[in-house]
Amino acid sequence: MSRLRVFMVAGEASGDLLAREVVEAIRLKADDVEFAGIGGRELASVGIQSPFDISPLSILGFAEGIRAYGTVVKLADAAADAIVAFRPDAVVLVDSWGFMLRVAQRVRARAPDIKLIKLIGPQVWATRPGRAKTLSATVDYLLCMHDMEVPYYEPFGLPTTVIGNPALSRNTPGDGQKFRAARGMGAGDKICLVLPGSRRSELSKVAPALIAAAKRVADEVPGLRIVISPAGNMKEAFDTAFPDVSSWAEVLHAPEERYDAMAAADLALACSGTVTSELAMQGTPMIVAYRTGWLTWALARGLLYKKQHITLLNIVSDDQEIVPEFVQTKQKPEMIAETAIKWLKDPQLLEKQKQAQGEALARMQGDGHSSADIAADTILSVARGQTVLPQE
């Protein structure tokens, strides 16, 4: 019996992590699968070496995407070449809408027999519902996060399975006491955790405001410890961009301590993204910041984005601001710091914020199945040409 061949494609840090989790889940379920792929450190950690560097794909926004268009096209061509050469039964395209669409179109044109599976769909419920039609005409199957996405694809006949939010499936409780003990800190010592983003564009547009806010907070709250945790793919770039922060903050370069740091922190200042759900799972009160190019923002607000907020915890709370958001012109260090200082000086406010986030998180919780497990079962069925069975 021939081995099943699956090709994974991940273009960003969050997608790379999810791709690795899915590969591990598939290997637990089947021993006849051969993998190849394109990704970063996470896929490399399970033996899947990328033929090229994916870091140029960490692009933020419409205008930034236009400037990098040539690079994206070249990488999409290279990805299609690698996929067709491997001759997989199925390709799993993880997140990264624009890049994955181009890869899918190229593979479809050259090898229409290869099954294309999109893992995590575009946010059609928030912006550009027309993407549902585009995706349906390009891939064979969609694995999406939310039940609310399914109706967008039903008119176009794209088979869809809801896997839930992968961040919620991880749900690895951090050991806050261990983190504090390793640094000689007691339960009464305060920690402010800074999570500056996982894209190069976020490092330039969001991280400076978060770090400046953290410095203001440190100067105002006696004894406060600042811990900055760059994403794994941004460590070197962060150190280059912010060489002096280690003089007043601890820069965390141990990925295995990331959840421990979240659990230990009294407050987090975070770039909007998957990390906000992870913080909520650790019970960490948070303040969120975000900024993109002015053209991208103008187009999004004027034509594309239909929600008032960008943080998922807020969106699922009837688009109400459960988590404070400092976005675009509001992303000012002094404004972020003002809220942070107020909270850190009043434990009741921190507890109230933790409770509000917990209630929002409860709305997002799925049925207990791991997102990676659901995705793995579906991918195996699609790759083998079998009927996809619902989770029990």
Tens digits of residue pLDDT in 242-288: 999 999 999 998 878 999 999 999 999 999 988 998 999 999 999 99
Which of the 8 DSSP states describes residue 305?
Answer: B
Type of residue at 65: G
Mean pLDDT of the chain: 89
Average pLDDT over residues 9-25: 93
Average pLDDT over residues 312-335: 89
Q: Give 75 or 302, the one with higher predicted confidence.
A: 75
Q: Do 170-364 and 4-164+368-384 have the same topology in CATH? A: yes
Q: Give 5 or 126, the one with higher predicted confidence.
A: 5
> Within 10 A of 166 (CB to CB), how many other CB atoms are there?
25
**What token pair was written down for 234?**
């941004």
* Model confidence at 63: pLDDT above 60: no
* Model confidence at 304: pLDDT above 70: no
CA distance 197 to 328: 15
Q: What is the pLDDT of residue 303?
A: 47
The 10s digit of each residue's pLDDT in 80-93 is 999 999 999 999 99
* Model confidence at 175: pLDDT above 50: yes
CA distance 40 to 275: 18
pLDDT tier, 126 (very low <50, low <70, confident <90, very high otherwise) = low
Average pLDDT over residues 72-100: 94
Domain ranges of the chain: 4-164+368-384, 170-364
Average pLDDT over residues 61-76: 69
Strands (E), the chain: 4-10, 33-38, 90-94, 115-119, 141-144, 160-162, 191-195, 225-228, 250-251, 267-271, 286-290, 325-327
pLDDT tier, 187 (very low <50, low <70, confident <90, very high otherwise) = confident
Q: pLDDT > 70: what percent of the chain?
A: 90
Q: 3-state class of 85 per DSSP?
A: helix
Q: Give 66 or 206, the one with higher predicted confidence.
A: 206
Q: What is the pLDDT of residue 311?
A: 82
Q: pLDDT > 90: what percent of the chain?
A: 65
Fold for 4-164+368-384, please state it. Rossmann fold (3.40.50)
Q: What is the pLDDT of residue 1?
A: 52
Q: What is the pLDDT of residue 125?
A: 67
> DSSP characters for 114-172?
SEEEEES---TTTB-TTHHHHHHTT-SEEEES-GGGHHHHGGGT--EEE---HHHHH--
Lowest mean pLDDT, pick from 67-71, 81-85, 164-168, 204-208: 67-71
pLDDT tier, 129 (very low <50, low <70, confident <90, very high otherwise) = confident
CATH annotation of 170-364: 3.40.50.2000
